[in-house]
Amino acid sequence: MPKIRVLIVDDSALMRQLLSSILSSDPGIEVIGTAPDPLVAREKIKALSPDVMTLDVEMPGMDGIAFLEKVMTLRPMPVVMVSSLTEKGAEVTMRAMELGAVDVFCKPADAASGGFLAHGPELIEKVKAAAASKVRALVDHGRRPATRLSVTQIYKSTDRLVAIGSSTGGVEALRDIVLALPPDAPPIVIAQHIPPRFSTSFAERLDGLAAVRVKEAEDNERILAGHVYIAPGDRHLTVKRSGAALMTHTHDGPLVSGHKPSVDVLFHSVAEVCGSNAVGIILTGMGRDGAEGLLAMRRAGAETIGEDENPGRRGPRTGPVAHRRRNPEIVPGVTKALMPTH
């Protein structure tokens, strides 16, 4: 199997050295070049045709976002953003995800002292996942000119709850699903593999574009129609019942299935509280997180939907996903299933 050819773009010589050292340690990855700024990177992209590019968010000359927009318009490729865990870094990185970057790697605070190497397996995993991802040319998403629900409509009882599990690399598909929703869509709860701070920026950016209201979930708030609730980046999200109302519960705790927030944690709670009055959706690239929870939802009678990574397969579906959609069909397939039935 050919190696994954990676181009590293970062204005810090130390970061270029660290990233190169970590990625080169994996036998399946070859670092074919590095660049200190977008101008050099542009020439190396033309000359080397990398499979994956790691891109620093903030650089001199042309910032990473402006460069990414040009790349995704003219020469789309899998890009892993390298960002600091700051509020500004989170906002810029979420913009990068909207432009088509497939994942984000957060720089450890102790990078200069050698703590960076401990995060090597995470970086390698993200680059490999990026290489296997499907990218497409940049499409502009304008704000949806739609009227949101009135207060009376919001508080009407809902027939079902929708739960979605997505990895960081699923941001684009998740965004497309949310932007396709009508104002009267059923309430949606989302566990998205995303770093702390990033979930707030992600929710705010989607809220500015979608017909539904999108927000970062808070503890003990009523779940309402026409609303999307995204788990905070460092807390688990579950659903509970208070009388006839569904409520959110966010809480700290250990990693579950390797993640916090965990899709399994969310799905198990939805299975227990909502039973058959729910829809479970899982996007590809999730690893093991979400499989057990989605199976629990299916056994409780919920409809379950997922991307089909093996569309040629035949025979009955006995796993957690009852309805599979091929990659180009996942967004229209999911949004059709979520449309309210009147």
Residue-by-residue pLDDT tens, the chain, 342 positions: 899 999 999 999 999 999 999 999 999 999 999 999 999 999 999 999 999 999 998 776 677 888 999 998 888 999 999 887 666 667 777 788 878 888 888 887 766 656 678 888 989 988 998 898 767 655 555 544 455 444 444 444 455 899 999 986 677 788 889 998 989 899 999 999 888 778 888 899 899 889 999 999 999 999 999 999 999 999 999 999 998 899 999 999 999 988 999 999 999 999 999 999 999 999 865 678 999 999 999 999 999 988 655 444 433 344 565 555 545 566 676 767 666 555
Burial class (CB within 10 angstroms; exposed 0-12, middle 13-18, buried 19+) of 14: exposed
Domain ranges of the chain: 4-141, 161-309
- What is d(CA 280, CA 191) in angstroms, rounded to the nearest whole number? 11
Residue whose pair of structure tokens reads 């990574």 in the numeric block: 309
Q: Please answer whether residues 217 and 224 qualify as being in contact, where contact means their C-beta atoms are separated by less than 8 angstroms.
A: no
Residue 5 phi, psi (nearest 5): -95, 120
pLDDT at residue number 312: 40
- 114 secondary structure, DSSP code: T
CATH superfamily for domain 161-309: Methylesterase CheB, C-terminal domain (3.40.50.180)
Residues labelled catalytic: 167, 193, 289
CA angle 142, 147, 148 (to 5 degrees): 105
pLDDT at residue number 110: 67
pLDDT at residue number 314: 37
pLDDT at residue number 296: 96
In angstroms, the first-to-last Cα distance of the chain is: 52
CATH superfamily for domain 4-141: Response regulator (3.40.50.2300)
Q: Please answer whether residues 263 and 289 qualify as being in contact, where contact means their C-beta atoms are separated by less than 8 angstroms.
A: yes
Q: Please answer whether residues 237 and 191 qualify as being in contact, where contact means their C-beta atoms are separated by less than 8 angstroms.
A: yes
SS3 state at 263? helix
Tell me if domain 4-141 and domain 161-309 are identical in fold: yes
- What is d(CA 124, CA 80) in angstroms, rounded to the nearest whole number? 11
Interacting residues of 141 by C-beta distance below 8 A, sequence separation 6+: 98, 175, 179, 209
CA angle 168, 100, 205 (to 5 degrees): 70
